[in-house]
Amino acid sequence: MSSDGPIVIIGAGPAGISAAKTLAGAGERPLVIDENACPGGQIFRRPPPAFARSETQLYGFDASRARRLKSTFEAIAPSIEYQAETFVWSIEDRRLHLSTAGTLKSISFGRILLATGAMDRIIPIQGWTAPGAFSLGAAQIALKAQANFIGRRVVFIGTGPLLYLVAYQYAKAGANVIAVLDSSRPFSKIMALPALLTDISNLSRGLFYVGQLLLRGVKVQTAIAPIEIVTSDRGVTGIRYEQGAQQRQLDCDAVAIGYGLKAETQLADLLGLSFHFDRHQRQWLPVTDGAGRTSVPHVYIAGDGAAVRGSEVAEWEGELAALSLLEDMGRGAQKRAAVLRGRIDSLSPFRRALDEHLFPLPHQFAVAISDQTTICRCEGITAGQIRETVATMGEADINRIKSFSRLGMGRCQGRVCSAAACELIAATACVDISVPGRLRGQAPLKPISLSVLAGGGR
């Protein structure tokens, strides 16, 4: 415990577990708060205990890491406090307001380390809210947590490493994967090759996934532009897209869509952190010193919640942020911190190549979103309504657009729609993508029933 209160870690994925291990090893007893039922994060999400699936079946190449992190957590469990199935819905000063199984409570903290991870980045198309349309992350959760497929005939569309990983996981599990439709272009992949060769291990994995999909007869197409998810009153029936000058359609009953990941930063916003705009990830990200410290002295951050760099880097960043925290308490380990910084920096060229060349975000798709396409599914706000609001107000600030249109006012508080909305606003107003800003985080970050709120729980 720090002199001014307990140390709290938000998140129990690779970054959170690594941070907890480091702090526990230094004699601290951190409180780890986790939204999931079990530690591991999204990448190492576990099925219910009754499901007999091995780590190799669940995690493939990452099975050994999954076993190691699980063993690590079990080893440190007596030395930490762990609160599962709990989320932070508000922060005031140095008090966290939590919800656990419908019960509210508040706790004080001295220092806090955010390891909140990332979530899917969606560029909406017509039909994306229909039954049978899922994000890539949701499709992966269905498979990992319940051994279920999202449909009988599945198409994966978007771009990024997760696109090929989840498609491969489905094909390996026996799903009928009709196609993988990637918006990135072959020439851009050639441009990325020199930097990709700096991490042969991850490059080999990606090539393995693509090769396995092709061997299983899955159609893999690049340089595509989605037009719409075709639907009926029963849900998804197909996907229409362009490739070159031709329009094509594939029949399917489920579509998984995603254009990479974006950092989950709402708690960082509530804590008052400074942000900067990252042009490679096209997102506002918390300002850090490169070792997990933020603009607020008692707040630290690690993993994909700081910037999306993958689970391996997240693990190193969790340890590094914990070492920074300990150093600020007068208990540093500079040699180990230098080693970790070197490891993280060594993978920077590879990550930059992914973002810039291999799987660039096709932000130009925002210009082509039809007026009738829903952007904010919580409030039912369409692209046409957003364009009209921008034109009427002569305004490009997303928070001003929100106040006049209800964009981002629903249950997800803009987590799902804000990235696409910023692209649409910037394109409509003919301004730089940084101009719309970011949706300000507001409590409650996640839905809480009035009955629970009225019941106290403080």
Domains in the chain, CATH or no CATH each: 7-119+262-330 (3.50.50.60), 122-259 (3.50.50.60), 363-429 (1.10.10.1100)
Asked if residue 83 has pLDDT above 90, the reply is yes
The DSSP element (H or E) to which 156 belongs, if any, is strand 153-159
The DSSP element (H or E) to which 353 belongs, if any, is helix 348-353
- Residue 97's pLDDT band, with cuts at 50, 70 and 90, is very high
Burial call 168-186: b when 16+ CB within 10 Å, e when fewer? bbbbbeebebbbbbbbbbe
pLDDT tens string 417-454: 999 999 999 999 999 999 999 999 888 998 888 877 77
Determine the distance from the C-alpha atom of residue 277 to the mean position of all C-alpha atoms in its chain, rounded to a whole number.
Answer: 17
Instruction: Write down the mean pLDDT value for the chain.
Output: 94
By C-alpha distance, which of 228, 225, 226, 239 is closest to 126? 228
Asked if residue 6 has pLDDT above 80, the reply is yes
Q: Any bridge partners for residue 203, and if so which?
A: none
Contacts of 77 (CB under 8 A, 6+ apart): none
Q: Specify the pLDDT at position 178.
A: 98
Asked if residue 347 has pLDDT above 80, the reply is yes
Residue with tokens 């198409």: 155
Q: Specify the pLDDT at position 21.
A: 98
Determine the distance from the C-alpha atom of residue 58 to the mean position of all C-alpha atoms in its chain, rounded to a whole number.
Answer: 19
No. of helices (H) and no. of strands (E), the chain: 15, 22
Q: Specify the pLDDT at position 47.
A: 82
- Residue 220's pLDDT band, with cuts at 50, 70 and 90, is very high
Asked if residue 19 has pLDDT above 70, the reply is yes
Q: Specify the pLDDT at position 188.
A: 80
| Count of CA atoms in the C-beta half-sphere (13 A) of 212 | 18
Q: Specify the pLDDT at position 3.
A: 57
Contact 162, 259 (CB under 8 A): no
Asked if residue 456 has pLDDT above 70, the reply is no
pLDDT tens string 64-81: 999 999 999 999 999 999
Contacts of 44 (CB under 8 A, 6+ apart): 13, 14, 59, 62, 65, 66, 69, 70
Contacts of 52 (CB under 8 A, 6+ apart): none
Contact 249, 240 (CB under 8 A): yes
Report percent pLDDT > 70 for the chain: 99
Contact 106, 95 (CB under 8 A): yes
Asked if residue 2 has pLDDT above 60, the reply is no
Q: Specify the pLDDT at position 1.
A: 56
Average of pLDDT values for 367-371? Answer: 92
Give pTM, 2 decimals. 0.95
pLDDT tens string 151-198: 999 999 999 999 999 999 999 999 999 999 999 998 888 888 889 999
